[in-house]
A and B are shown apart, each in its own frame.
Chain A
Amino acid sequence: MHIPDGFINVPTVVVTSAVSAGAIAYGVSRANRRLGEKHVPLMGVMAAFIFAAQMLNFPVAGGTSGHVLGAALAAILLGPWVGVLIMACVFIVQCLIFQDGGLTALGANILNMGIIACFVGYYLYQGVVSFWGERRRSQLVAAFLGAWLSIVAAAAATAIELAVSGTSPLAVALPAMAGVHVLIGIGEGLVTAAVISLVMTTRADLLQLERV
């Protein structure tokens, strides 16, 4: 759901860019205090994996496709602030090199699919795990739910920005965006839970890293 240039108006561009720039600055200062050696390769692999996974659009109902976003996965493994930094790197490269997502919409794309998706995914995951305990099954269910809601929340935020910009009324954009992404989110949930399951089986110690 990368927003192209032209969909959001100047005030929305200004506000979303400011929020995203502020979050990136704070995320960098937090990461600067808390990242350790072990985070380094994981952050590289995470950024590479998310970029590659985002190229793989899968078909959903009604002639639409969706792709994995990866924000919830990054946030669950590395923490929401590092998640935001990874997603920002992905969107900046996609925008500047691949012309995916508009230059003026970069701040909005980072806000929706980076900040909102990472924090919603991370805190729903943490909430479910603290409610159901640290068992493998509850962690996988938590990952699925966190990832699913991260997509729906990002879609809702996008609809709100379209409405505020006068591109499409909220009563039209919100149900349409949420409706499609409720389905795309299922794919996100399955892939996120599968990757967390793989990490648990092969390198469970990576789940013990400090989340930033």
Chain B
Amino acid sequence: MKLKWWHIGFALALFLAILSPLASPAPDGLEKVAEDKGFIGRAREAVFELIPDYMFPGIGNEAVATIIAGVVGTIILFAIGYGLAWLLRSKSRGEV
């Protein structure tokens, strides 16, 4: 199979997912504002949880759990994005 540009693009996305344990743990902009302005307490927990906090459940090592969560999500979104475009495309259009 010939290597296409988007194989490299997808590999780059997976590489970013593998870097995810390096992310800053500090609260994001909205969380920080909510803490400072005293409304963080209004936040409600989700009614169900699958992979909360970007950590794959049942894995002791946090970095590994984060990487697996990131890789799983990246693959899911590639499949959804590709699949949605594939369903919606017109075969007669966009050939370059």
A contact residues vs B (CB 8 Å cutoff)? 1-7, 28, 31-53, 55-60, 62-67, 85-86, 89-90, 93-94, 96-100, 102-103, 155, 158, 162, 167-168, 172-173, 176-177, 180-181, 184, 202-203, 205-206, 208-210
Q: How far is the CA of A22 from the CA of B44 in the complex (A)?
A: 27
Minimum Cβ distance to chain B for residue A149 (Å): 15
Given contacts A53-B16, A180-B29, A210-B94, contact A168 B89 (CB under 8 A): no
Say yes or no: B89 contacts A36, CB within 8 Å. yes
Minimum Cβ distance to chain A for residue B22 (Å): 7
For A37, what are the chain B residues with a Cβ–Cβ distance below 8 Å? 89, 91, 93-95
For A96, what are the chain B residues with a Cβ–Cβ distance below 8 Å? 50
Q: Within 8 Å of chain A (Cβ to Cβ): is B58?
A: no
Instruction: Tell me the total A-B contact number using a CB cutoff of 8 A.
Output: 226
Instruction: Indicate with 1 or 0, residue by residue over B33-68, a CB within 8 angstroms of chain A CB atoms.
Output: 110110100111111011111100000000000100
Say yes or no: A168 contacts B13, CB within 8 Å. no
Of chain B, the residue at the smallest CB distance from A28 is B88
Q: List 6 A-B contacts (CB under 8 A).
A: A42-B6, A44-B83, A58-B24, A67-B23, A102-B44, A210-B93
Interface residues of B in 57-96 (CB under 8 A from A): 66, 69-70, 73-86, 88-91, 93-96
Say yes or no: B10 contacts A48, CB within 8 Å. yes
- What 15 new A-B contacts, CB under 8 Å, besides A5-B46, A51-B73? A3-B30, A6-B42, A38-B95, A42-B6, A44-B81, A44-B85, A47-B77, A47-B80, A48-B14, A49-B12, A93-B76, A93-B77, A172-B37, A184-B29, A209-B94
Closest 10 pairs between A and B when the two form their complex, measured CB to CB? A36-B94, A47-B81, A44-B82, A41-B6, A45-B9, A43-B85, A48-B78, A6-B44, A52-B16, A65-B24
Say yes or no: B9 contacts A4, CB within 8 Å. no
Of chain B, the residue at the smallest CB distance from A210 is B94
Minimum Cβ distance to chain A for residue B11 (Å): 10
Say yes or no: B81 contacts A167, CB within 8 Å. no
For A210, what are the chain B residues with a Cβ–Cβ distance below 8 Å? 93-94
Q: How far is the CA of A143 from the CA of B12 in the complex (A)?
A: 21
For A7, what are the chain B residues with a Cβ–Cβ distance below 8 Å? 34, 39, 42-43
Say yes or no: A55 contacts B49, CB within 8 Å. no
Q: How far is the CA of A168 from the CA of B23 in the complex (A)?
A: 29
For A43, what are the chain B residues with a Cβ–Cβ distance below 8 Å? 81-82, 84-85
